[in-house]
Amino acid sequence: MNLRVCLATLCLIFSAGSAADPLRVVSEPWPPYVFEENGRYLGVDLEIAEHVLRELGHEVTWDLLPWKRALHTVKTGGAHAILDIVPSAERIEALHFPDEHLSRNETVLFYHRDRPHPFDSLADLAGLTIGVSPGYTYSSAEFTEASHFVREPAPTFEANLFKLMRGRIDMVAMDQRVGLYLAQHLGIADQLGYHPTALSSGKLYLAFHRSESLFTLAEAFGPALRAFKQTAEYTAILERYGQNAVPGGVDTSPP
């Protein structure tokens, strides 16, 4: 890393404590949680996070990147925070996680209705090829480390679904709501099914780069988010994206 890049990174990190400087938040396009449409950044978790950060005195700029790149960017200080990340031991070491999550996700296995495969446990995946996303943990070490089936990455969620349509993979591991949203927008919803048995589930957070100034913000973000969850405006955001408030998070069941 050259001197210019080092200085730019340091400026980004230490400016985070100033309300006059916008926070750069990165994520991957993941509708309906976070996405870009007609030049606007939208999504249920994006709107919630942005509201809370503004309440804390910070403007926000958004940048949607491939997940592995987004994660690397925030870990190395090129961004202040990353949206919709599931904690793991490694990530907790590298990032500041607030004590309140934005929402919950449930990962399920999608299949083509003409080529269904049974799934009740990981043993049922023996010999199959499962579409996955690079850098995802899926909140399941058993799934990411199992050797009796193949995990085949694709650069985008859409690419995984199209591979499934063409019979190049057997199933796709994907957040339930993301898969349903994309299938509807891609015009393939009538060809897809998914297993009700969840592959995994987890809580989604806005996590901050590990610096002292951002630790203070992460500490403040949790209580502010909890307070916002009690408001009518929070409920209105959920309803706008067809989601419902449930104790402890956001319902991700189909609308």
Residue 143 lies in a domain: yes
User: CA–CA separation, 255 vs 247, rounded Å?
Assistant: 18
Contact yes or no for 139/77 (Cβ under 8 A):
no
Q: What is the pLDDT, as a whole number, of residue 242?
A: 85
pLDDT higher at 130 or 1: 130
pLDDT higher at 232 or 1: 232
DSSP labels for 40-84?
EEE-HHHHHHHHHHHHTT--EEEEE--HHHHHHHHHTTSSSEEEE
pLDDT bin (cut points 50, 70, 90) of residue 245 is low
CA separation (Å) from 110 to 32, 106, 139, 180, 183? 17, 12, 17, 9, 10
Chain segment 183-198, per-residue pLDDT in tens? 999 999 999 999 999 9
Q: Is the pLDDT of residue 164 over 60?
A: yes
pLDDT bin (cut points 50, 70, 90) of residue 21 is confident
pTM beyond 0.85: no
Provide the domain limits for residue 95: 3-103+204-244
Q: Is the pLDDT of residue 58 over 60?
A: yes
Residue 84 lies in a domain: yes
Q: Is the pLDDT of residue 138 over 70?
A: yes
**Burial class of residue 134, CB neighbours in 10 A (0-12, 13-18, 19+):** exposed
Q: What is the pLDDT, as a whole number, of residue 243?
A: 82
* Residues 142 and 22 reside in one and the same domain: no
Q: Is the pLDDT of residue 33 over 50?
A: yes
* Residues 138 and 57 reside in one and the same domain: no
Q: What is the pLDDT, as a whole number, of residue 247?
A: 38
Q: Is the pLDDT of residue 16 over 60?
A: no
* Residues 217 and 191 reside in one and the same domain: no
* Residues 172 and 185 reside in one and the same domain: yes
Identify whether 32 is preceded by a cis peptide bond (ω within 30 of 0): yes
Chain segment 77-118, per-residue pLDDT in tens? 999 999 999 999 999 999 999 999 999 999 999 999 999 999
Q: What is the pLDDT, as a whole number, of residue 94?
A: 96
DSSP labels for 132-195?
E-TT--TT-HHHHH--SSEEEE-SSHHHHHHHHHTTSSSEEEEEHHHHHHHHHHHT-GGGEEE-
* Residues 173 and 226 reside in one and the same domain: no
Q: Is the pLDDT of residue 18 over 70?
A: no
Report the number of distinct structural domains present in the chain. 2
Residue 252 lies in a domain: no
Residue 249 lies in a domain: no
* Residues 194 and 216 reside in one and the same domain: no
* Residues 55 and 141 reside in one and the same domain: no
Q: What is the pLDDT, as a whole number, of residue 233?
A: 97
When pLDDT is averaged across residues 233-249 and rounded to a whole number, the result is 77
The residue among 255, 144, 249 whose CA lies nearest residue 203 is: 249
Handedness of CA 121, 127, 128, 132 (dihedral sign): positive
DSSP labels for 66-78?
-HHHHHHHHHTTS
Classify 21 as helix, strand or coil: coil
Residue 253 lies in a domain: no
CATH of the domain at 172: 3.40.190.10
* Residues 137 and 168 reside in one and the same domain: yes
Classify 208 as helix, strand or coil: strand
